[in-house]
Amino acid sequence: MEDKRRQILNQVRTGTITAEEGAARLDELASENAAGTATRERPAPAALQPAPNAASVKVVSQFGSAEVVADPTVATAVAEGPHRVRLDGNTMVIEHVPFQEEDTFTFGMAGRRIEINGFDFKTRRGLKVRMNPDLPLVASVQAGSLRVDGVHGPITAEVQAGSCNVNDFRGPINVVAQAGSVTASGCIDSGTSKVRCEMGSIRLSLNKQSSVKITARTTMGKVAIDDESGEHAIAGSGGKEVTIGSGAATLDIEGTMGNVRISVG
């Protein structure tokens, strides 16, 4: 039984089967063990129907760093670090839980002992998610950093307080940062993309294979666009437009308090 249990857990860890399917198989294995090995022959159990793979991934973090990296060997997504996983329709939701139930904070009155038990500030906060690069991703971080690497499906990301870094994207992106910097690099050749930052800088790098019409503006700061013809800058509330390739896609960039810099090449 123990070998079968390890095999199921390893399949969940590597993403061969989903967490829900793994739980069902473990329940079935436990039921068989509880029934014992009776001398009479029992009919073979019906084949377990595999749980359907999720069609998108959502990562939620209230506090701490979250990293999402592409892994083509994973069917949907696999998480490392303190987290909970659930299905919401056809979306796999991974919730970052840096503070576990066993983490205890005890504060006494003056003269009494003050204890902080069982919390590792360096290793317990981080969340790392490996996901199939072709699936859509929605990521939300309340306070902390978000890093996305190699996800080629559509990306929607929101960071309220902290940095947002998106590398090697291929699909449309929709990124919002309330207070913090936004750095992104990749290719846009279809769909509608938006980048917003209220308090912080925006740095975007697009490769030459992109085909997009860009509109960039900032209220209090400077917009700088570097393309093959050199740097073009405009300060204040004005906007700057530039077209890469045939302009098949659109990208709208808006900053409130901070500079916007776009490079092409």
Between residues 103 and 54, the one the model is more confident about: 54
Residue 264: the pLDDT is 87
Residue 54: the pLDDT is 85
Between residues 224 and 183, the one the model is more confident about: 183
Residue 108: the pLDDT is 40
Residue 228: the pLDDT is 62
Amino acid at 139: A
Average pLDDT over residues 69-76: 95
Angstrom distance (rounded) from CA 75 to CA 60: 20
Average pLDDT of the chain is 80
Domain ranges of the chain: 1-37, 52-171, 186-265
Between residues 7 and 247, the one the model is more confident about: 247
Q: 185 and 172 in contact (C-beta within 8 Å)? A: no
CA angle, corner 182, sides to 250 and 229, nearest 5?
A: 55
What does the pLDDT look like over 205-248, one tens digit per residue?
999 899 999 999 999 988 888 866 554 444 444 567 888 889 99
Q: 117 and 106 in contact (C-beta within 8 Å)? A: yes
Phi then psi dihedrals of residue 28, to 5 deg: -65, -40
Average pLDDT over residues 63-73: 94
Average pLDDT over residues 14-25: 65
Residue 159: the pLDDT is 95
Angstrom distance (rounded) from CA 257 to CA 218: 7
Residue 104: the pLDDT is 41
- Among 171, 139, 145, CA closest to 158: 139
Q: 68 and 102 in contact (C-beta within 8 Å)? A: no
What does the pLDDT look like over 88-144, one tens digit per residue?
999 999 999 876 544 444 344 444 443 444 444 444 568 999 999 999 999 999 988
pTM for the full model? 0.72
Average pLDDT over residues 3-14: 70
